[in-house]
Amino acid sequence: MIDFIQQLKYRNETLFYYGLLCLILAAIFILLTKFTNTQVYHVNAWYKPFKFAFSTFLFAWAMAWYCYYLPHFNIKIFNWSVIILLGFEIFYIAFQASKGQLSHYNISTPVYSALYSMMAIAATLVTLYTAYVGVLFFTNSFPELPHYYLWAIRMGIIIFVIFSFEGFAMGSRLNHSVGALNDNSNWFIIGWSKTVGDLRVSHFIGMHALQVLPILSYYVFKNTKWTIGLSVVYGLLALLTLIQAVQGRPLINTKNRANEVMNKT
């Protein structure tokens, strides 16, 4: 782990420290859930900024690692785009959490509506920039990289981009639930619904292909065909959870399971 951190810092010191800052913020936000009772949609308000800060930490470190391979890539512009755009998102989400108010889906005033739109624009720009990085991984040659690892990066970025844009399915509805109004069940930190469809599930799975696929390919599979096969299965998993959510069904319906147990007894 120490070697990885040293190498990551060498590859992209700017995103290394930004990711570290996001990790520290995530730790602060999760601690705040233990010391405050402020809630938004029946869950502690600080869970949302925690999730966004931690996700940004993972994204920043992953892209810092991958972009190092790109020849003639203007990394400074990319770095500051990520820092400014995603930093704005984290700040606004945390600020709203401190007041016990919505950040996402909040169009209650012209100001909140504009800020919500700005968050959507920020996420879109980062996703488009990441898509451009993905194009560069297809159009450049990387003789120093194992072929299976290169394909894992390519497929990870493709799936990430697709399911990042799936966020518009939530934004356009002002609701991440299908069958209820922004249901948040007490399911550890993620809070996915246990009773209705939840569009956040596929969003989460798809976006983290960026980390999961390259790690599994490089350390476990070490084979191009297996890597592509894994990527297809992973993408289908994200798609199936999306279809399930659209149909109004939760990922795991604990309510029905509990009823089945009671009926048997």
Domain boundaries in the chain? Answer: 1-140, 143-265
Residue 248 binned pLDDT confidence (cut-offs 50, 70, 90): very high
- CA separation (Å) from 214 to 78, 206, 208, 230? 21, 14, 11, 11
Calpha distance 180→13 (Å, rounded): 44
Cα–Cα distance between 175 and 112 in angstroms, integer? Answer: 16
Task: Quote the pTM value.
Answer: 0.93
CA distance 100 to 236: 36
The pLDDT value recorded for residue 256 is: 54
Residue 174 neighbours by CB under 8 Å, 6+ apart: 105, 107
DSSP state of 102: -
Which pLDDT value is given to residue 262?
A: 38
Residue 254 pLDDT level (bands cut at 50, 70, 90): low
Span 155-183, average pLDDT:
92
Helix, coil or strand: residue 177: strand
> What token pair was written down for 24?
């520290």
Number of helices (H), then strands (E), in the chain: 11, 4
**Contacting residues for 252 by C-beta, under 8 A, at least 6 apart:** 194
The label of the residue with tokens 């900024």 reads 49
The rounded percent of the chain whose pLDDT value lies above 90 is 83
Question: What is the rounded average pLDDT of the residues 9-14?
Answer: 97
pLDDT in tens, 71-81: 999 999 999 99
pLDDT tens digit string along 102-147?
999 999 999 999 999 999 999 999 999 999 999 999 999 999 999 9
Distances (CA, A) of 143 to 69, 70, 138, 154: 10, 12, 13, 15
Cα(first)–Cα(last) distance of the chain, in Å?
Answer: 50
What are the tens digits of pLDDT across the range 179-225?
888 888 766 678 888 899 999 999 999 999 999 999 999 999 999 99
